[in-house]
Structure 1
Amino acid sequence: MSTIKDVARLAQVSVATVSRVINESPKASAAAREAVYKAMRELGYTPNANARALVSQTSDTIGVLVNDVADPFFGALVKGVAGVAMEQGLHLLVGNGFHRQEQERRSLELLISKRCEALVVHSKALSDAELIDYALRHPGMVLINRDISALKGRCIALNNQQGTLVATRHLIELGHRHIAFLCSDQAIEDSVARRQGYEEALREAGLGVEAELVEQGPPNEEGGERAMLNLLAKGAPLTAVVAYNDAMAAGAISVLADNGLRVPEEVSVVGFDDLIYARYLRPKLSTLRYPVELMAAQAARLALALAAGQPAPEDSRQYMPTLINRHSIAPVRRPARA
């Protein structure tokens, strides 16, 4: 395998000159560039990207930190960042944090060590103070799905509480009075905010928050199944279910079908996120659209702008979820079952 020394020897220049040519230094003469490029072609030499980054103190890579790229939601987030990277001719480096503090920290440090000046970070386990410290040291870092007042202008977030508020209000308008909530058991602000929206809608309608109608589980299909099974086991009267996300809603619909309860004729179900499979469930899932791909693209563009030295916007950007009414919601058609 050829080395930079081999290139220098064949081009009859110094190693320093080869380095200047590779890193596009204006100090390299036209003749030197021609000789070096010719030698590189003859030897089949490809510059090491990490070595170039060490010299230039930058790289052609955008870094993105997510919970788990295998999750469809975070796959959509990565897709939004990847689209911007492709537009700009940049590479994408992804780290998984799994909503665990040490893993998020290690993944973020790895992205930084690879000299990703532009960083899109989805972090739920690291504290505000630690994220502020990272952001102060890395001007191109932008947070997504998190809003920290000290990082004003560098956060792209969603109003999670508004989403479940809108969904629950809609069910109440359709005559539902016994509305259950499937909550995520993850200790993150999204879980808290979505439950708050559900409870706020009940209170403003003069309905009490019934503890027996709230169940929690992991934010996936199995968690939705477990939570729905617990609700049915308690014999709680319910005509509608608001789920933390589409995955939990899918699990709930499966359990309802297995127990002979028709959706939406007997029980209405609404999800959150509007992932791709929501429209392929049967019935098609009514849900709250979380424009995560759009948000991720904006976060990537903002991160690149900040890394280039542009000032941050005056305020952080907050998106609003939108109710997508498909086939899993209907007006009350029968008395609540006890």
Structure 2
Amino acid sequence: MSTIKDVARLAKVSVATVSRVMNDSPKASAASRKVVLQAMAELGYTPNANARALVNRTCDTMGVVVNDVADPFFGALVKGVCTVAVEQGLHLLVGNGFHNAEQERGAIELLIGKRCEALVVHSKALSDEELIDYALRVPGMVLINRDIPALKGRCISLDNRLGAATATRHLLGLGHRHIAFIGSDHAIEDASSRLQGYRDALAEAGAAADAERVECGTPNEEGGEHAMLNLLAKGLPITAVVAYNDAMAAGAISVLADNGLKVPEEVSVVGFDDIIYARYLRPKLSTIRYPIELMASQAAKLALQLAAGETQTLQSRIYAPTLINRHSAAPARD
């Protein structure tokens, strides 16, 4: 990892000159700016946001990186961080990563460059190693919805596997045995963990998971529609569905209604996340609560503590999912 001394050595100037250029000092000449910026670009050097803040004392921002702020789930995440930022008199900068490594990397780099004093990062595409590297560069960085053992005390996550198992157990408890799973086709841990939770619950009940009753798609309403259509096309007996998230559940319910199948009388559906519109679907959606706004608020407070150098009592937290039992799941028919 390059340092300010490496930049000074390559540019053939003093460390003080590099510092003046990075801090936009009027004492830095045009020639100095040119060689220093060129050296920084060549080395891929990004100044530590918190170190610069200590020099300038102008750091009044914090940042958050999400998959897509247009998604209600991530909108709630941003709201949780924003609430803390406003309480602390800070501005909030938001970056979208779209579960793409290059875009996640670009969003993090941008926020570091904007001198954010704390970062809450939702990253699924970057490797553990790269996120650890960023955490070393930015003391006030916290990961949300991800748990990396090497970053103990800097991770806030949910037990996704338990959540899907809880949804499946609920349906099993209602007498269902022909339970399908609609999953995400994104290659992320959440997708594999929730599928495994579904399989765990079936195995506990002595009901082997049937691969034919698992369909995956884009984790939105359209993906849920497509997955449900594929399940119906197979002609298998299905009395209940566990969905990767509420958006996919909504798409599945739409397809079931279009095909004359009543929810929950003929097919029960359980979602995951408990996003805002889950309670406004008809029937109201039974789902697994993902307390993302609460978790995001906790992550923001943790990030500010880290940025301030408070590291004595920090702990990573794994939140527990809970069942929200509404009207889209009912006892299986005899």
Range class of TM-score, shorter chain: 0.7 to 0.9
TM-score (norm 2): 0.83
Q: Quick one: distance in 1 between partners of 2:82 and 2:151?
A: 24
Structure 2 residue 106 is the aligned partner of structure 1 residue 106: yes
Matches within 5 A, 1:143-222: 143-222=143-222
Tell me, yes or no, if the aligned pair for 1:153 and 1:312 is still in contact at 8 Å: no
User: Identity over the aligned pairs, expressed in percent?
Assistant: 77
Tell me, yes or no, if the aligned pair for 2:144 and 2:296 is still in contact at 8 Å: yes
Tell me which residue corresponds to 1:3.
none
User: Residue type matched to 1:67 in 2?
Assistant: N
Tell me which residue corresponds to 2:278.
278
Tell me, yes or no, if the aligned pair for 2:61 and 2:93 is still in contact at 8 Å: yes
Structure 2 residue 62 is the aligned partner of structure 1 residue 93: no
Residues 276-301 of structure 1, C-alpha deviation per residue, up to 9 Å, x if partnerless?
00000000000000000000000000
Radius of gyration: which is bigger? 1
What secondary structure does 1:78 align onto?
A: helix
Q: CA deviation at 1:54?
A: 9.2
Q: Quick one: distance in 2 between partners of 1:134 and 1:227?
A: 37
Tell me, yes or no, if the aligned pair for 1:58 and 1:116 is still in contact at 8 Å: no
Tell me which residue corresponds to 2:261.
261
Q: CA deviation at 1:58?
A: 5.1
Q: Quick one: distance in 2 between partners of 1:128 and 1:183?
A: 24
Residues 180/303 of structure 1: CA separation in 2 closer, same or farther (3 Å cut): same
Q: Quick one: distance in 2 between partners of 1:290 and 1:227?
A: 23
Q: CA deviation at 1:199?
A: 0.1
Q: Quick one: distance in 2 between partners of 1:170 and 1:110?
A: 44
Tell me which residue corresponds to 1:74.
74
Unaligned runs of 5+ residues in structure 2 are 1-51
Q: Quick one: distance in 1 between partners of 2:53 and 2:168?
A: 51
User: Residue type matched to 1:160 in 2?
Assistant: N
User: Residue type matched to 1:296 in 2?
Assistant: A
Q: CA deviation at 1:149?
A: 0.0
Q: Quick one: distance in 2 between partners of 1:322 and 1:312?
A: 30
Q: Quick one: distance in 1 between partners of 2:134 and 2:149?
A: 15
Q: Quick one: distance in 2 between partners of 1:128 and 1:53?
A: 27
Q: Quick one: distance in 1 between partners of 2:312 and 2:68?
A: 28
Q: Quick one: distance in 2 between partners of 1:196 and 1:129?
A: 25
Q: Quick one: distance in 2 between partners of 1:100 and 1:76?
A: 21
Unaligned runs of 5+ residues in structure 1 are 1-51
Q: CA deviation at 1:315?
A: 3.4
Q: Quick one: distance in 1 between partners of 2:199 and 2:271?
A: 16
Tell me which residue corresponds to 1:299.
299
Q: CA deviation at 1:56?
A: 1.1
User: Residue type matched to 1:100 in 2?
Assistant: N
Q: CA deviation at 1:155?
A: 0.1
Q: Quick one: distance in 1 between partners of 2:208 and 2:91?
A: 52
What secondary structure does 1:133 align onto?
A: helix
Tell me, yes or no, if the aligned pair for 2:271 and 2:286 is still in contact at 8 Å: yes
Q: CA deviation at 1:313?
A: 3.9
- Quote the RMSD (CA, aligned, Å): 1.5
Q: Quick one: distance in 2 between partners of 1:124 and 1:316?
A: 18
TM-score (norm 1): 0.82
Q: Quick one: distance in 1 between partners of 2:281 and 2:236?
A: 25
Q: Quick one: distance in 1 between partners of 2:291 and 2:217?
A: 24
Q: CA deviation at 1:53?
A: 5.7
Tell me which residue corresponds to 2:325.
325
Residues 254-306 of structure 1, C-alpha deviation per residue, up to 9 Å, x if partnerless?
00000000000000000000000000000000000000000000000000010
Tell me, yes or no, if the aligned pair for 2:53 and 2:117 is still in contact at 8 Å: no
Tell me which residue corresponds to 2:60.
60
Q: Quick one: distance in 2 between partners of 1:164 and 1:103?
A: 29
Q: CA deviation at 1:62?
A: 0.8
Q: Aligned pairs, how many?
A: 284
Residues 158-177 of structure 1, C-alpha deviation per residue, up to 9 Å, x if partnerless?
00000011110111111000
Matches within 5 A, 1:220-235: 220-235=220-235
User: Residue type matched to 2:113 in 1?
Assistant: S
User: Residue type matched to 1:266 in 2?
Assistant: E
User: Residue type matched to 1:262 in 2?
Assistant: K
Q: CA deviation at 1:59?
A: 1.1
Q: Quick one: distance in 2 between partners of 1:310 and 1:227?
A: 47
